[in-house]
Structure 1
Amino acid sequence: MTVPASLGRVPLRSGQLAAGMVVLAGALVLVAVTGLAVGTRALPVAEVLAVLGGAREGDAAIIILEQRLPRTVLGLAVGAALGVAGVAAQGLTRNPLADPALLGVSAGAALSVVLGISFFGTGALPAHIGFAIVGAALAGAAVLLLAGRSDVRTNSTELALAGVAVSALLAAATTTLVLIDADTLEEYRFWAVGALSGRGNSTAALVVPVLGVAVLLGWACARWLDALALGDEAARALGLRLGRIRLAIGATVVLLTGVAVAATGPIGFIGLAVPHAARALTGARHGWLVPYAALLGGTLLVLADVLGRIVVRPGELQVGIVTAVVGAPVVLVVLRRIRTAAR
């Protein structure tokens, strides 16, 4: 099964696509400002803008600069990373259902972080990121090998089954570890649901630059992803070395997912749904698809975080729960579109 390119729609011109990016960037800024204003204590937008403009006195400045700004910036970065990781995973496997979670990358990163906490006593974020990247790489490689073909040209059903099996095994191992170790459970349970809350400026300062570079790497892979979409023979005719290309794209997916999962915990559905939403706007050209996915991913994750603060006010629903509740129907819609396009 291949990713439907444009489903028969007329391709947009570069000027139209650039204008669409401006609109998405505006929506991202609007959602980000909303994220700074909404919370247990609602703040007027004028007060938010004043703090961003340099006002540093009063409770509003403390709330925005020390609590809401770090989680909003982190949400934008993680959402963009997961959106781009989904595009790269789908292009790499030529499978519209591929995402970091399906490939076992998220589960591998989660298990690796738990192993670090349980056996090595790691509590610092840099250590979590290192463990998460290693776990993500090993899990992704295991899924692709179990699917039956190490060159990544795998049947979508085999890939899905291998991904589900590996993810379930890794999740079971993670659950076992946290249940037999109370200290690990105490640290893990706040991380596992997927959350932006409780992440301070130090977390954002460490993670955002890394994810920014990783997103740019994903964009740099765009022409390779376009070549892979044409098929292996066409890609070879263009003089591309498929093994190296797939390794580079796979490494980018691992970096994007590993760092994102280490920073916020596993957050589902963004990597699956966002690429399809972006593709509906841009068509199959990855040079536009990647930045659209980055903007949409960041916007949707912060929007989910805002919704989590509203629906159970004065409490808060973690963003990983919100994306799961909203994302499940989206996946069903995606499956229906794929089934319709395949007929």
Structure 2
Amino acid sequence: MTSTGGTTWTELTGMPAELLALAERCYAADGGMPLATDPAFLGRRWAGDGVTAFGLRSGDGSLLAAGAVRRGPTFTGLVDPDARGRGLGAEVLDRGLALASSALASSASASSASASSASSASSASSASSAPDSSASSSSLSPSASSASSASDSSSATGDVVTVESETLTDDAAALFESRGLRRTFAEDVMRIDDLDLPPAVWPDGATISSWDGPDVARRFHTTYHASFRDRPGFPADPAGEWIAENEEDEDFLPSCSLLATLPDLGDAGFVVAARGWIVQAGVVPFARRRGLAAALIAESLIRMRTSDGVDHAWLTVNVNNPGAAALYRRLGFQQRGLRARYQRPMQAAGLARSAGA
């Protein structure tokens, strides 16, 4: 452990009770995703293979702030609400970025060494068995390996570090931006506390199907794809992957997941629900402005309350979709916080220096 400005750095291992308590204090102050206090959710980010977690303690040993870097690399951090305004968030972030930089440098060095070894072995083999130039030209070169490893990077000359927050505050956003991080994703987190809603009002002739069997599930996916393919950054998940992701969720509610079909238009809108959650909802472009989304969500929430005893529900909505957010507010949802992801390229040269280490 080392000291800095009256606080002491400490290594964190596993999921100590003090870390869970810190997460709960941050969530109570900042709002955001309720999963931010779930031990299993936290465990995937703060413990296990490939995770380096650390903290700042006060003179009396209390945990004031903490950070973790996992494979990716991805950093997440927490600062006790009562300890803010003292620069602890900046210290934790800079340490996390430095660790992420080191991880990227080590990975790049290992990849380069591996590629060079493979290239040398291939060239030696070619020289002994086939002296013509065409044989040696087929060997793997370091430059080819580098190009391959950079294919999912945002920069052709380096890799990317991600900073995530499930309980984003304005001060945290300003800190991230001061370190050259750019926001790449953000969602409002919303909650409704009264599910005693009036009956859903459907467009004329609408018929409703619940998620029942593989054929209907594929129709859900087709409608999902048609509803969101015009949105920026739509991932276009394959049917099998998207269906499995929903069905394998232990809280998935097939009876509350609904598909709406309109006369002469076919399948036109859908909602996927899990216990206490509206997971996704969408309407295909040609069926919008008919009240279909509001009816689907209202009916799903009503079923959730009457058949599963749920008394509140959550959803998230991308900040670049204000129309959907306005609809959710009309239904009774209220904003409870913001979650976001930030990124910046980390160059192969001078990584630790650029991270503020």
TM normalised by structure 2 equals 0.21
Instruction: Flag the structure with higher helix content.
Output: 1
TM normalised by structure 1 equals 0.22
- If you compute each CA radius of gyration, which structure gives the higher value, 1 or 2? 2
Instruction: Flag the structure with higher strand content.
Output: 2
